[in-house]
Amino acid sequence: GTGTSWWRTAVIYQVYPRSFADASGDGIGDLPGITAHLDHLVELGVDAVWLSPFYRSPQADAGYDVADYRDVDPLFGTLADADALIARAHELGLRVMVDLVPNHTSDEHEWFQAALAAAPGSPERARYHFRDGRGEHGELPPNNWRSIFGGPAWTRTTAPDGTPGQWYLHLFDSKQPDLDWDNPQVREEFEDVLRFWLDRGVDGFRVDVAHGMVKEPGLPDWDGHVAMIDGTDDGDDVDAVDGSGNHGPMFDQEGVHEIYRAWRKVLDSYDGDRAMVTEAWVEPLSRLARYVRPDEAHQSFNFAFLAAGWDGPALRRVITASYAANDAVGAPTTWVLSNHDVVRHASRLGLDDPTHRPNGIGHGDEQPDAALGLQRARAATLMMLGLPGSAYLYQGEELGLPEHTALDDDIREDPAFFRTGGGERGRDGCRVPLPWSGDAPGLGFSPTGATWLPQPAGWAELALDRQRGREGSTYELYRAALRLRRAERLGSGGLQWLAEPAGEHVLAYRNGDVVVVANLGDVDVPLPADAEVLLASGSDVGAVLAPGTTVWLRAS
């Protein structure tokens, strides 16, 4: 890419507030807990943090159901705590991005409460999608859409006197009614919310469900299903590279781009290079690149990369197609391997088929191979961090944390679990409170030892204080990679594929003065005899590179 803006090359660390660090002692992470641990992120070597939602919310979807976009939920602290966090981060040289959830509000948002109290056809209802039902008595949903969390995407309202009324649309939980983005009041409101947080000093926004806000007029029936991007071109599911699906009437409508053009103007009216990243599950990559045209968003998560799993040819295809698509619009690529919605990559890559349900709303009962998963995760991370562009890390991946695959059903909180009657295992397994200290109760997450979800047995060994300074630990591997990435300016470099040293399951590329070789196959790969090893994901790198290992070499 061109230009020197920070977001073109930044490594951005996702903080999931409820599970990062708890200062209050209630077992739920909070803003003061984050502020107290920001120096950890400086030591790690990232450039910025993105905070998942901490706004006032009944927590039906862990804060992705916002009741007040301009206030902090008491669970997480106060607005003053948010100000203090931003100020401290800036003092430490870290940028701060916050989450914006514009597709839907909470049903407890004052707008939705007013809509419920108002009559059909009223301006209050016109901010959402209220419709009469089908059938003789309106007893059937207005169309056949399904919620992404399972079940119908419509819920019928009930008048105070008990008579059933209109239905409202929710692509997610019934406590997350979708806003009608054709309504000018909705547009004005969110531009104002952007300004509210920009005025408080945030450096940017992560935009939730960025491909879903605008719906096709008339809300027509759709027989497709919400499929997962899988990074292959084999014609099943959604194929990120050649493109084959996921174009329902609720996704990737032309009208969303108008919203990003308007928001870009708001961001550009502030100094300090403010940026937004869109969460858009859109394919093919050339279509995703339309979200990062020069007058729209700055970045868009590359989920095709995440979903390509542990497959050399698929990764090579996705990487090549990503640069082609983004170079055409002058945007950086935005690599990602884990987040709060997917199976952690230290476990995902230990599954028989890592592309199987990468988007983690459920992974059946298949148990990953933990050792293989961690080995591959370390290799995948080095492969990613050597690539030009920006990268997102999810809290805990720097500790090599696995998915918690043995949570009791009765302590799960993900609405996707409940809406499918337990058919989907849900995303709680990647949201377990972080282990800071191997000897403390609750592994140092909270001063009382409380944790809102239990940590799996064996996590003491993964605690930050056990890994810090220990040669070969995953934490020290991440630190070394981020240090080298910065020193070698890998983020702003260029990718040059090298001839495959040992077939299509080995990825080898040059970026500046560094050569990256990743062995995704199952046989040893010879390395050049005089190669200077800068960094390796595994311990025994010599004349050969073992399967499941990535190495950074000094280019000769």
- Which stretches of the chain bind ligand ISL, using CB under 6 A? 61, 64, 101, 148, 172, 208-209, 226, 246, 279, 281, 340-341, 359
List of E strands, 253-332: 275-278, 299-300
Report, in Å, the least distance between residue 7 CB and ligand ISL. Answer: 19
Please, what is the minimum distance in Å from the beta carbon of residue 416 to ligand ISL? 8
CA-atom Rg of the chain in angstroms = 23
Is residue 431 within 8 A of residue 16, CB to CB? The reply is: yes
Contact in structure between 166 and 156 (CB atoms under 8 Å): yes
SS3 assignment, position 39: helix
- How far CA 384 is from CA of 117, 126, 197, 228, in Å, comes to 51, 45, 31, 21
* Residue 502 and residue 343 in contact, taking contact as beta carbons nearer than 8 Å: no
Q: Which is nearer to ligand ISL, 340 or 357 (CB)?
A: 340
CB 252 to ligand ISL: min, Å: 9
Say if residue 347 is exposed, middle or buried (CB neighbours under 10 Å; 0-12, 13-18, 19+): buried
**Among residues 97 and 379, whose Cβ is nearest to ligand ISL?**
97
Least separation in angstroms between CB 545 and ligand ISL? 35
**Residue 391 C-beta: closest distance to ligand ISL, Å:** 18
Look-up: residue for tokens 């679990």?
417
Pick 155 or 359: Cβ nearer ligand ISL: 359
d(CA 130, CA 118): 11
Element (H, E) at 95: strand 95-100
The secondary structure of 395-413 as a DSSP string is TTGGGTPPP-----GGG--
Which one-letter amino acid corresponds to residue 256?
A: V
Nearest one of 456, 448, 457, 465 to 431, comparing CA atoms: 456
Task: Give min distance, CB of 544 to ligand ISL, in A.
Answer: 40
- β-partners of residue 335 are 391
Query: Considering beta carbons, is residue 416 or 520 the nearer one to ligand ISL?
Result: 416
Report the first-to-last Cα separation within the chain, whole angstroms. Answer: 25
For 337, phi then psi, to 5°, come to: -120, -25
Toward ligand ISL, which CB reaches closer, 34 or 209? Answer: 209
Shortest distance in whole angstroms from residue 191 CB to ligand ISL: 20
Give the residue with the Cβ less far from ligand ISL, 154 or 323. 154
Backbone φ, ψ for residue 276 (5° rounding): -130, 145
Task: State in angstroms the smallest separation of the CB of 172 from ligand ISL.
Answer: 4
3-state secondary structure of 304: helix
Peptide bond into 284 cis (omega under 30): yes
Q: Could you give the C-alpha distances from 64 to 14, 53, 173, 257, 390, in angstroms and in order?
A: 15, 6, 10, 22, 25
Rounded Cα distance between 494 and 490, Å, is 8
Min dist CB 308 to ligand ISL, Å, is 16
| Nearest-angstrom CA–CA distance, 32 and 84 | 8
How near is the Cβ of 144 to ligand ISL at its closest, in Å? 17
How many other CB atoms are found less than 10 A from the CB of residue 341? Answer: 18
Positions marked active-site:
208, 279
- Is 502 exposed, middle or buried (CB count within 10 Å of its CB: 0-12, 13-18, 19+)? middle
Our CB check for ligand ISL shows the closer of 180 and 208 to be: 208
Residue nearest to ligand ISL (CB): 64
* Helices 184-199/256-268 angle, 10° precision: 30
Nearer to ligand ISL (CB atom), residue 9 or residue 359: 359
Of 94 and 226, which has the nearer Cβ to ligand ISL?
A: 226
Nearer to ligand ISL, 181 or 459 (CB): 181
Rounded Cα gap, residues 137 and 139, in angstroms: 5
